[in-house]
Chain A
Amino acid sequence: MSAVRVLVGTRKGAFVLTSDGTRKIWQVAGPHFAGWEVFHVAGSPVDPNRLYASQSSGWFGQLVQRSDDGGKSWQPVGNEFKYEGTPGTHQWYDGTQHPWEFARVWHLEPSPRDVDEVYAGVEDAALFRSTDGGASWQELAGLRQHESGPFWQPGAGGMCLHTIVLDPADPQRIYVAISAAGAFRTDDGGETWRPINRGLHSEQIPVPDAEVGHCVHRLAMHPAQPGVLFMQKHWDVMRSDDAGESWHEVSGNLPSDFGFAIAVHAHQPDTVYVVPIKSDSEHFPPEGKLRVYRTRSGGNEWEPLTEGLPQQDCYVNVLRDAMAVDTLEPCGVYFGTTGGQVYVSPDGGDRWEAICRDLPAVLSVEVQTLE
């Protein structure tokens, strides 16, 4: 009997939501790390009982927790994220240069090949890797040391490396995204990197078509089409058909192309989901209606999915790491809101139900499909 486990990171702890394959009746466990911010919880594709969680606090800094039993128990592992060499500087809000300073781990990406290998995207933007189950972390410094590094600058949320996409077909290829520097790709396992932002156009930066400086919010890929990438940029939903070499806009008929989250259907590589947000000044859904939009054609033509979602007086946000899909048939789609709701659609987006309505503000949602 199949089952799903939903890993939820919130402003005040982590929650583990479980159900059988019908996805109708849910058990809620938590809060784990109560009172701490949990930016992300992720499970290993190699061993689903191996979980990693990013736990942080303005008082006590960063911890990484690891579970070997599917989230029932946790152990703190390594929390030293030391930049390689002399960290140098990047651009600060006022245009001056500012030293690279570690603040927190935004995203953890376990390897699909090795249970003890996991990547961490951090603020100030850098990529770290552990090969010992999180006990120690080494920076893949070629990214931060890219010649454009001194020109990277923080978005309003800090200069964070928030997206890590590991190419399932090529262990040497990794994509990352940084706010507000843009998307980058390595083809040699992290030694060298180059920006992949051609085709992005951002009116909010001095040179709208610049090679770096774009506020990319999230990347998504279907494992069967690793050369096809989807991007929710600050404004604009974008698509690349050549592994990021070039991008074209697929916002089409969306009511707003601002947003954070983007996800691809587990079985249909051209079915993509976004949650339009009104604007960068008003981080809530247009018209107070919480609508997921789905395209079945890889972009441009989007349909609103509303059944079971609030269609009046809704002013929550859905953050970049707070949407995920399971691999059951039909595909389940999940997202969490800053209002503390976690929604599930067990039928690919047609109908939605709230698993939880009153959690702390949701920062991240991941889903594990269990056999």
Chain B
Amino acid sequence: MVRVELPYHLRNLAEVRGEITLAVSGEVTINSVLDALEDRYPELQGTIRDRATGLRRPFLRYFACQCDLSHQSPDEPLPEAIAVGAEPLIVLGAIAGG
């Protein structure tokens, strides 16, 4: 099972608390994890990946295992620690004021 940590507003939107645990079929990549996430919570479609381009929204980042994975291919395998649920994939919102 893969663990996912969402930012505050997306936890509210999906009506979840804390981490989400997902079964991900096939290779564990950013895209496969987000596909599984959106299957379970369709209201999250378009909030992490742009609807038109499928790309990460500019003010969000993907962190895991103390690394910023935002710029790696979303179809590249994630670290083993993510795939086995030892570490969460963190979707993080950029800090901003206003």
Contact = CB atoms under 8 A, between A and B. Distances in A.
Contact of B46 (A35, A36, A80, A101): A80
Given A57-B9, A58-B59, A63 B52 contact: no
B7 to A, nearest CB: 7
A102 B46 CA distance: 12
B40 interface: no
A36 B93 CA distance: 13
Nearest to B51: A80
A59 B51 contact: no
A82 B53 CA distance: 11
Nearest to A57: B9
B9 A35 contact: yes
A59 B94 contact: yes
Nearest to B52: A102
B70 interface: no
Contacts of A302: none
Contact of B51 (A36, A57, A76, A81): A81
B68 interface: no
Contact of A59 (B9, B43, B45, B52): B9
B10 interface: yes
Contacts of A35: 8-9
A63 B7 contact: no
Given A60-B9, A61-B46, A79 B59 contact: no
11 contacts: A36-B9, A57-B9, A59-B7, A59-B9, A59-B60, A59-B93, A61-B47, A63-B13, A63-B47, A79-B51, A102-B52
A100 to B, nearest CB: 10
A57 B7 CA distance: 13
A62 interface: yes
Interface of A is mostly: loop
| 7 interchain residue pairs of minimum CB distance | A76-B43, A60-B47, A59-B59, A59-B93, A79-B46, A80-B51, A61-B46
B44 to A, nearest CB: 9
B90 to A, nearest CB: 15
B76 interface: no
Nearest to A81: B51
Nearest to A87: B52
A67 to B, nearest CB: 15
A296 B28 CA distance: 67
B45 A79 contact: yes
Interface string B4-15: 000111100100
Interface in B30-47: 43, 45-47
Given A58-B59, A59-B94, A82 B46 contact: no
Contacts of A79: 45-46, 51
B50 interface: yes
Nearest to A80: B51
Interface in A46-67: 57-63
B37 to A, nearest CB: 14
A61 B10 CA distance: 11
B23 to A, nearest CB: 23
Given A36-B9, A63-B43, 5 more contacts: A59-B94, A60-B10, A60-B13, A60-B57, A61-B57
